[in-house]
Amino acid sequence: MDGRLANRWRLTVNEKKFIETALASNLRIDGRNPLEYRKIIIKFGREDGSSEVQLGQTHVMGFVTGQLVQPYQDRQNEGMLLIFTEFSPMAGPSFDPGHPGESAVELGRIVDRGLRDSRAVDTESLCVLSGKLVWAIRIDLHIVDNGGNLIDAANIAALAALLTFRRPECTLGGDDGQEVIVHPPEEREPLPLIVHHLPVAITFAFLGSEGKLVVDPTHSEEAVMAGRLIATVNANGDICAIQKAGGEGVPQSAIMHCLQLASMCAISITKKINSAVEAYSTERALRKIKRHPTVAGNVSVAGSDVKEQNKTVEQVGGSELSRHHIERLKVVSEETCSSRSNDNDGDIKSSEQGGTSRGESKAMNFLGGPSNWYGASTFQYFF
Amino acid sequence: MESERDDGRSPSQLRPLSCARNVLHRSHGSASWSQGDTKVLAAVYGPKAGTKKNENPEKACIEVIWKPKTGQIGKQEKEFEMILKRTLQSICILTLNPNTTTSIIIQVVNDDGALLVCAINAACAALIDAGIPLKHLAVAICCCLAEGGYVILDPTKLEEQKMRGFAYLVFPNSIVSVLPKGSSHVEG
């Protein structure tokens, strides 16, 4: 399709010069200083093992699923870790929905190397029956929005999803102890994966003729950069992997400097991941308590009374929204079937707030119209 | 016969809906639509220059790309793409920008029943966000035929598996397309 070339985005010469000149006085176009990371927001989905990471304008989703398969011939006692990366055409106008381009393959390889080769995930614990059945953990990374530095964001998404994934427990049974029984989550609590350490990828870009160093490049900076170095380190200061594939040559001192910076960044990122995962785990544990109707209203951990009443009333949608929003849905705090139509109203209203918190300021003014329209359309069926 | 559904809804009650516009930065238009636990993200790029090989260059072309949550793209994804493409072709004004392609990309975030319906609604919201001129909006709803022979709206995944048949209805102002899916004989 000839039109494709015309559709590709290109940086203008003016923008390029502006970025380089600004960097000469240690200024970046989004106001950060050269060694500063963008804001990281880690959210989790409804199911175990689904994460959503926002790094500035970059948006990546990670989904982890598990399956019982036959192990490889030469690794009969180990489970498998498979990483699939898809650059969705959603992320940018130049991404082809067909076969993955080289940047997609590179991203997949970097994340894969960080997790597998550094033995971050314990694969031996994934073995169920040696030589016959092992768990294959599949990580799907969907790049949804390309705001630069996809590798770091994808890595964080993969780690967050792995930490919150739960696999069903299976026991050996049957006459000869060779039959594998997989227990559903209602019967036995699913188990988390054993993750020894968290390898975090930090991307450094070298810009301009004298190789100025910036951390966490944005999309425009990536288009201007002369070279790139990705260091995968963990919070203990161990270097798991380094990738510098081509680009401008940099002196050895610059590389050592990068690695030191990477260790420092890794500590703060690891802390963020861990606190987000912990918050999710406690919320998940609270959710589990409420499955039994007998303890409905008696369990009162500070501040979550409203959420509990939500669950016992089985307002599944309402609880999902309340997880996303900071404000409590006071409308839903009442109770049961009678107030359902009111609840719909409350949910639609909070969707407006949800839209505000997600889309940035330009979305705010326009939320009134369409959301209200959707509010009206849902009531058509109330004849 | 009013039979209770698993989550306590009445047969004609929808799950709580929520929609957020402009959630992505690079795309020309984007929307996220969720019905209960089913959540779909839609992005629109367009109009871009040129049409695909087999398409009519005198009209605008709509391209739909469906991305499942996990797994390879199979026949079911292709079928969803085709249905979505035909639905959106009927609401877009195709004669306005000839020889252009508008791409709609659907990403499934979570599937808890009524997935295609959620996607149609999300795609329509994303087209509005992108400012693509439309004849009218497309509002989709899913109805199922339960065991007892009565109709329920907006099923969850568990309800869908137990149903005898289901239909997706897409309304502009009048019924545009009815896609019945089901195996059993429908009475009454």
The pLDDT of residue B3: 60
Q: Residues A331-348: what's their mean pLDDT? A: 37
Chain B, window 148-187: residues with a beta carbon less than 8 angstroms from a chain A beta carbon: 153
Asked if the Cβ–Cβ distance from B53 to A145 is below 8 Å, we say no
What are the structure tokens assigned to A293, written together?
Answer: 């109707």
Domains of chain B with bracketed CATH: 17-136 (3.30.230.70)
Chain B, window 76-115: residues with a beta carbon less than 8 angstroms from a chain A beta carbon: 101, 103, 105, 107, 109-110, 112
Residues in a beta bridge with A59: A54, A145
Residues of chain A contacting B14 with CB distance shorter than 8 Å: 344, 378, 381
Residues of chain A contacting B43 with CB distance shorter than 8 Å: 90, 144
Q: Which amino acid is at A14?
A: N
Give the least confident one: A143-147, A242-246, A291-295, B17-21: A291-295
- Given a cut of 60, whether residue A336 has pLDDT beyond it is no
Asked if the Cβ–Cβ distance from A347 to B16 is below 8 Å, we say yes
Asked if the Cβ–Cβ distance from B110 to A46 is below 8 Å, we say yes
- Given a cut of 60, whether residue A344 has pLDDT beyond it is no
Residue in B13, B48, B71 closest to A340 by CB: B13
The pLDDT of residue B48: 87
**Chain A residue with minimum CA distance to B8:** A314
Contact assessment for residue A329 and residue A315, using Cβ atoms and an 8 Å cutoff = no
Residues in a beta bridge with A229: A204
**Chain A residue with minimum CA distance to B172:** A377
Chain A, window 97-136: residues with a beta carbon less than 8 angstroms from a chain B beta carbon: 97
* Residue-wise DSSP of B120-165: HHHHHHHHHHHT--BSS--EEEEEEE-TTS-EEES--HHHHHH-SE
- Given a cut of 50, whether residue A353 has pLDDT beyond it is no
Q: How far apart are CA B177 and CA B168, in angstroms?
A: 8
Asked if the Cβ–Cβ distance from B70 to A367 is below 8 Å, we say no
- Dihedrals φ, ψ of A294, to 5°? -70, -30
pLDDT, tens digit (0-9, with 9 covering 90-100), for A23-52:
888 889 888 989 999 999 999 988 888 999
What are the structure tokens assigned to A24, written together?
Answer: 């000469």
Q: Which residue has the higher pLDDT, A358 or A206?
A: A206
- Dihedrals φ, ψ of A190, to 5°? -70, 155
The pLDDT of residue B71: 78
pLDDT band for A215, please (50, 70, 90 cuts). Answer: very high
What are the structure tokens assigned to A109, written together?
Answer: 């390889």
The pLDDT of residue B146: 83
* Residue-wise DSSP of A184-215: PTTTSPPEEP-B----EEEEEEEETTTTEEEE
Residues of chain B contacting A315 with CB distance shorter than 8 Å: 16
Q: Which residue has the higher pLDDT, B7 or A232?
A: A232
ipTM exceeding 0.85? no
CATH 3.30.230.70 assigned to A5-279: yes
Contact assessment for residue A333 and residue A306, using Cβ atoms and an 8 Å cutoff = yes
Residues of chain A contacting B41 with CB distance shorter than 8 Å: 90, 144
The pLDDT of residue A330: 38
Q: What is the DSSP letter of A338?
A: G
pLDDT, tens digit (0-9, with 9 covering 90-100), for A100-112:
778 888 999 999 9
Please list the residue range(s) of chain A that carry CATH number 3.30.230.70. 5-279
Residue in B22, B105, B139 closest to A88 by CB: B105
Asked if the Cβ–Cβ distance from A366 to B21 is below 8 Å, we say yes
Q: What percent of chain A has pLDDT over 90?
A: 38
Q: How far apart are CA A232 and CA A71, in angstroms?
A: 28
On whether any CB of chain A is under 8 Å from the CB of B74, the answer is no
The pLDDT of residue A362: 40
State the nearest Cα–Cα gap between A3 and chain B, in angstroms: 5
The pLDDT of residue A38: 93
pLDDT, tens digit (0-9, with 9 covering 90-100), for A174-188:
777 777 888 888 888
Cα A123 versus chain centre, distance:
22
Radius of gyration of chain A (CA): 24
Residue in A142, A219, A358 closest to B67 by CB: A142
pLDDT, tens digit (0-9, with 9 covering 90-100), for A49-88:
899 999 999 999 999 999 999 998 888 888 899 999 878 8
Contact assessment for residue A324 and residue A280, using Cβ atoms and an 8 Å cutoff = no
- Dihedrals φ, ψ of A40, to 5°? -105, 125
Could you tell me which residues come within 8 angstroms of residue A276 by beta carbon, excluding any fewer than 6 positions away? A42, A43, A44, A160
The pLDDT of residue A354: 36
- Given a cut of 70, whether residue A374 has pLDDT beyond it is no
- Dihedrals φ, ψ of B180, to 5°? -80, 135
Q: Which residue has the higher pLDDT, A15 or B55?
A: A15
Q: Which residue has the higher pLDDT, B116 or A350?
A: B116
